[in-house]
Structure 1
């Protein structure tokens, strides 16, 4: 604790700043030039008025001519909506669900209903996360990096023909604030209910001619709102800190070299599950209040995993990495090289049965790293009719995992055991994309990608302490496929563009490796491919007053990767990632931005999707569990889920409204509500009843004072104002099905300074 506070205090003494303050002066060269003028303070005040007291224009105007369904978010919008973790992004984009795995730092993505629950996190995510053009092979590596941001972009649908790595679901890209050629610094403090605090800071400026730096940091503390009714213990406090440094060198007017590095230490407690149904056994489930949870840790299990006997469900994670960006303007083209190395060291304890008994207590350790290298050549004149990019991408990852389980109070097992394995992965891809603007504002575009992926599972051992040990044979899988895209866009009016594109996406196969009992469980699942039709439009029918963007899509899947069920004789059903031979989904998303009258600004996102399996024979978990409850015998009840809904939320809504008022010549006020809705979601194939998470609606609000000088900002806010009980995700342990509850009402305040 003292080491973290010393580090953060050091950054603060350098007058480091908030992410909000960082993005305004830092990101635009023209603004930097204004800051270097003799009247820099006046220039700073002028540009801050534009984005605070007098904000009337919609952001990302140039993107209105790009044929995509991306959701683009400014740093200011992210801060207004309280986006401080990766999971919070689902509150500001349509058709996006990001869920914690069992309340932990690991996350699963579903975009347009495309995604799967990968508890072991040893496979390529269906939706990739990028920070500064660096893809994270394992989503947990992105933990703790959501500070000092410049902007964010959510891209739905197949990707990979223009940069980075191929995927079928899409990507979420974050851009962090860059160094500045003039001095800027500041800090922010956010304090809220349950003793939650979030502190951020940064400093940025020149070190020498052509050499600039940026140093930023964040700490998060408190906020735990769960209690154990049996012991009175408190659970859920954050305890993390992070640092990021960037060094930019411009040796000449055509070359930029950026070296970045980050370090995250996360010892936060996790949210513990609430059991909703007992699958095995006759013991009653605990009767819990909405902010209560039960957990336990046997001394014997604590000694086995080498952690304190007082350990609560929590993380003990360390993430660090660095990347080197080199950009060179060759005149006829621009060459870009991105080299990155990312690591994670994770220790995670969860009580998955959600009771005081030791029926599914789990401790997991992960040691992983990933090296990526991207090299691309692209056109350098944005005004040219011909735009193109060609490139190659390489990834190498290594992972070792160990799961420790305490089943002592589970009568069918009554032991402690471990499963450990290693995974080696390597992939290469080549890609290219081209577009050409014809007369009459018609643009044709297309791209192609070829990817080869090899991965192997090694050294898998399952050991029952005091019992049998099973050593499994290694397995490997390889895949090589083409993906691509063709389309056309038409700028039919100066303010309106329409487009159509056909995309083929590819995602390699992999392994399910959790709680392995028989060799057949290690059979790899195959690649996933999707053919996506998308038609959309972007329009500013009343510039500065009304913006309408929308897209409709149809996904034709082959080998869609989902979590199905496998029956282990005399053991029970276990989750296993498998391929659906044939499935489909369709839907639409849209964004409306309005400034109908003076002072009022409204943003509304809407996402709707449907999907079903067209051919999917698998174990029917609900029927199998019902048969066991009746007979006490595990017997696989198989079903063909053809025609069954894919279980993803059909409707997602989120938005906000603001009243923006200049109180004086030097002070403005923003005030208004925000809201989000997510429909019900299945946690098992074909799930109904408790196998589905209930829908929920959340309401929040904020009020912000902004001076024209831009030197400070003060906000009061509330989230989940109605104090609704809702559940973010769910799953199953050995004996119970459980939900992960969402946060109760939080009321807080935030103040930031900026110079």
Structure 2
């Protein structure tokens, strides 16, 4: 039997490592002494080649038992049923995530095309871009164009999903407008995480991953029945160490992880038609963050520091830590709690299945970052967020999957409340400021939507489909103040914005042959407006940005021209935007430029993405993702930050230099490539080995509209590899791996504070080993 492994942790890392390793040793001894099943299956796959142990089947459905038989036919490729769906989704098994070392949201960009997931100033907070659509929201008080789901629950603020990628079943990345079949309406798409459900038979497992820089990742799970129709699952993780940065001024160390998380699920099936699932989770994160590398400064006489790749500078003045209530000598770090619970109820009435999902999520975040990345206090920031979100979804769907007519209708409600505070230390930012300041505000938001989607299968394998969505969103910002400690206080009146719009989809698909699907669809996406609330100096900064709409045209192909040997999936798209939301610039007289979320009246983007899976010979398995996109602003009058900064550097005067960026590239990476090659070989009757490289390439990305030079993140290429030994039973496995083998310096995101521009570096070479087991 193949069983998936997960992790568990409550105490310190040493205890967790001992439990994980001990459990795996017991499993290894048990598996070794037992009579193992043959490595190679007796049945022949469609390709005519005898499969080896690593060619696994897809993960089971959520309600199915977790184990699958080894002795049957093993496909080279997963998600065969999805090859008949008209979408451009990237579907990733838990196995693929483990092979590529994807343990957080940030890592997903290395296994999906046209996806960018960037940390904000090296913290746990993230911004998503899919097909180039997304925005940089430092305050994280707006819903992004790409929404994260965990077990069918939408997280309106991406940081809420931090720390939840453990005990995974699979991940699906969906590009383009969504919302006519479930959940939250968005313009850019969604990232859906699905975790493992309780099982009807008893299972447990653990994993321990130890790597360079004293990094430790421990995971475990236990799952099984409690009584007839009642089962449970408890899973957890711990992350420790791994900090690879040092401060050249004092040799201090930065970047160690220090987090733990627990998830519990309880499933009740009172009868064959009803399923009730209750789930709860908690995440505690006190990890240090990744420090930045300053690349340019426009104000101040002191030069920016020249740092080695693994070096960064930071500071925390005692006066500032006293103000924020933290200890002296504070390092850039998190101090976060995330918790939540959800209830899923589904009942099959025969012709109709009714599903209801209720969820409550809470975020208590406190982040200290040195945003100028120097020993001076020029932009040291401490952000606190207290937020919660309640969502309720009800949908009805056709229960008979074989009917020509398929349909789903439903309604969705979302309500959130948030309070934020932003203390800044500018005491060394001279002659411009030289003080400490705090901005505070509250946010109230409420949205409702109704949706429906219908498809009808015509003769000759042609299917027509149409979807419609209507959403109402109302939000307001309240109580915003900006106060200088020992000085003046600015009070701003609240602002509100509301929107009500339709979105939808229409398309056609044709199953040309058994293994070839063609489709075309047009989709209109809608996303509500919002506010910029960081470091507010004038009332105009609180003017809400308008809702964003996009009309997307997509042509796609899904094909298995040589079953179990070659799979080619591809989609081409064109996006026609109105009021696209991006991070722009506002100039405050006698103060300087500040970032502000704004609208581009008219813009466009186009491109394609594709995945090639290849099993050319018996032992070789290759996956290659390709993403290419271009985009232009067609009408975008705004402040040119580069020219405005240059004017100040020449004259010492702040003056807004305005431009229309019509015809200027949108700055998103034009080419993204990622893939891997595996050699899967039986080394004896009972054991098999897998090994091979993986790779990532990402093109340059502009940090500001039309950005060049240091306003642009450089491209990079990374190479990794792994070797895994496993028995035929697959009850345990041992892996040795390396990431960034070439030890290349690269930068994953960028930022700006005052007039210092910085890059956030990626990690150097890591070499590690992982032992996992499961029963």
TM-score normalised by L of structure 2: 0.93
Residues of 1 paired with 2:61 and 2:476: CA distance?
45
1:466 counterpart residue number: 486
Q: CA RMSD in A?
A: 2.0
Residue 431 of structure 2 corresponds to residue 409 of structure 1: no
How far off is 1:706 after superposition?
1.2
4+ residue runs over 4 A deviation: 1-18, 23-26, 28-31
Residue 382 of structure 2 corresponds to residue 363 of structure 1: yes
1:211 counterpart residue number: 230
Residue 605 of structure 2 corresponds to residue 623 of structure 1: no
1:522 counterpart residue number: 542
1:39 counterpart residue number: none
Residues of 1 paired with 2:17 and 2:706: CA distance?
52
Give deviations 1:311-333, integer Å, cap 9, x for gaps: 10000000000000001001011
How far off is 1:31 after superposition?
6.5
Give deviations 1:596-648, integer Å, cap 9, x for gaps: 01100000000000000000000000000000000000000000000000000
Residues of 1 paired with 2:145 and 2:707: CA distance?
21
How far off is 1:280 after superposition?
1.2
How far off is 1:8 after superposition?
5.7
* C-alpha contact 1:11 1:201 (8 A) present in aligned 2: no
2:684 counterpart residue number: 664
Residues of 2 paired with 1:260 and 1:7: CA distance?
26
Q: Secondary structure at the match of 1:47?
A: coil
2:739 counterpart residue number: 719
Q: Secondary structure at the match of 2:490?
A: strand
Q: Secondary structure at the match of 1:353?
A: coil
Residues of 2 paired with 1:396 and 1:341: CA distance?
10
State how 1:448-527 maps to structure 2 within 5 Å.
Answer: 448-527=468-547
Residues of 2 paired with 1:667 and 1:55: CA distance?
16
Residues of 2 paired with 1:490 and 1:48: CA distance?
34
1:330 counterpart residue number: 349
Residue 240 of structure 2 corresponds to residue 221 of structure 1: yes
How far off is 1:2 after superposition?
8.2
Residues of 2 paired with 1:276 and 1:618: CA distance?
24
Residue 273 of structure 2 corresponds to residue 254 of structure 1: yes
Residues of 1 paired with 2:195 and 2:581: CA distance?
32
Give deviations 1:133-167, integer Å, cap 9, x for gaps: 00001100111101000000000000000000000
Give deviations 1:486-514, integer Å, cap 9, x for gaps: 00000011110100000000000000000
Residues of 2 paired with 1:561 and 1:360: CA distance?
26
2:38 counterpart residue number: none
Matching residue within 76, 79, 87 for 2:95: 76
How far off is 1:681 after superposition?
0.1
Give deviations 1:662-711, integer Å, cap 9, x for gaps: 11111011100000110000001110011000000000000101101111
* C-alpha contact 2:119 2:126 (8 A) present in aligned 1: yes
Residue 128 of structure 2 corresponds to residue 106 of structure 1: no
How far off is 1:56 after superposition?
3.8
Matching residue within 381, 392, 400 for 2:411: 392
* C-alpha contact 1:14 1:203 (8 A) present in aligned 2: no
Residues of 2 paired with 1:13 and 1:113: CA distance?
42
1:611 counterpart residue number: 631
* C-alpha contact 1:26 1:180 (8 A) present in aligned 2: no
State how 1:185-584 maps to structure 2 within 5 Å.
Answer: 185-411=204-430, 412-584=432-604
1:41 counterpart residue number: none
Relative to structure 1, is the Cα distance of residues 282 and 5 closer, same or farther in structure 2, using a 3 angstrom cutoff?
Answer: closer
* C-alpha contact 1:624 1:637 (8 A) present in aligned 2: yes
* C-alpha contact 1:205 1:212 (8 A) present in aligned 2: yes
Residue 641 of structure 2 corresponds to residue 655 of structure 1: no
Give deviations 1:205-225, integer Å, cap 9, x for gaps: 000000000000000000000
Residues of 2 paired with 1:471 and 1:279: CA distance?
30
Residue 130 of structure 2 corresponds to residue 115 of structure 1: no
Residues of 1 paired with 2:451 and 2:235: CA distance?
34
Q: Secondary structure at the match of 1:87?
A: helix
How far off is 1:55 after superposition?
4.8
Give deviations 1:270-309, integer Å, cap 9, x for gaps: 0011000012122111010000000011000011100011
How far off is 1:49 after superposition?
6.1
Residues of 1 paired with 2:133 and 2:121: CA distance?
20
State how 1:685-696 maps to structure 2 within 5 Å.
Answer: 685-696=705-716
* C-alpha contact 2:62 2:197 (8 A) present in aligned 1: no
* C-alpha contact 2:20 2:218 (8 A) present in aligned 1: no
Residues of 1 paired with 2:21 and 2:747: CA distance?
41
Q: Secondary structure at the match of 1:462?
A: strand
1:140 counterpart residue number: 159
Matching residue within 680, 685, 689 for 2:700: 680
Residues of 1 paired with 2:259 and 2:419: CA distance?
24
Residues of 2 paired with 1:209 and 1:15: CA distance?
28
Matching residue within 751, 754, 760 for 1:740: 760
Relative to structure 1, is the Cα distance of residues 636 and 28 closer, same or farther in structure 2, using a 3 angstrom cutoff?
Answer: closer
Residues of 2 paired with 1:466 and 1:30: CA distance?
61
Q: Secondary structure at the match of 1:664?
A: coil
Q: List runs of 5+ in structure 1 lacking aligned partners.
A: 36-43
Relative to structure 1, is the Cα distance of residues 537 and 464 closer, same or farther in structure 2, using a 3 angstrom cutoff?
Answer: same
Matching residue within 85, 89, 92 for 1:66: 85
Q: Secondary structure at the match of 1:624?
A: helix
Residues of 1 paired with 2:14 and 2:317: CA distance?
35
Residues of 2 paired with 1:391 and 1:64: CA distance?
26
1:636 counterpart residue number: 656
Q: List runs of 5+ in structure 2 lacking aligned partners.
A: 1-8, 28-53
* C-alpha contact 2:146 2:191 (8 A) present in aligned 1: yes
* C-alpha contact 1:26 1:177 (8 A) present in aligned 2: no
* C-alpha contact 2:347 2:355 (8 A) present in aligned 1: yes
Residues of 2 paired with 1:13 and 1:89: CA distance?
27
Residue 106 of structure 2 corresponds to residue 87 of structure 1: yes
Residues of 2 paired with 1:239 and 1:383: CA distance?
49
* C-alpha contact 2:59 2:93 (8 A) present in aligned 1: no
Residues of 2 paired with 1:622 and 1:642: CA distance?
16
How far off is 1:48 after superposition?
4.2
Residues of 2 paired with 1:541 and 1:26: CA distance?
23
How far off is 1:57 after superposition?
2.7
How far off is 1:125 after superposition?
1.1
Residues of 1 paired with 2:341 and 2:12: CA distance?
20
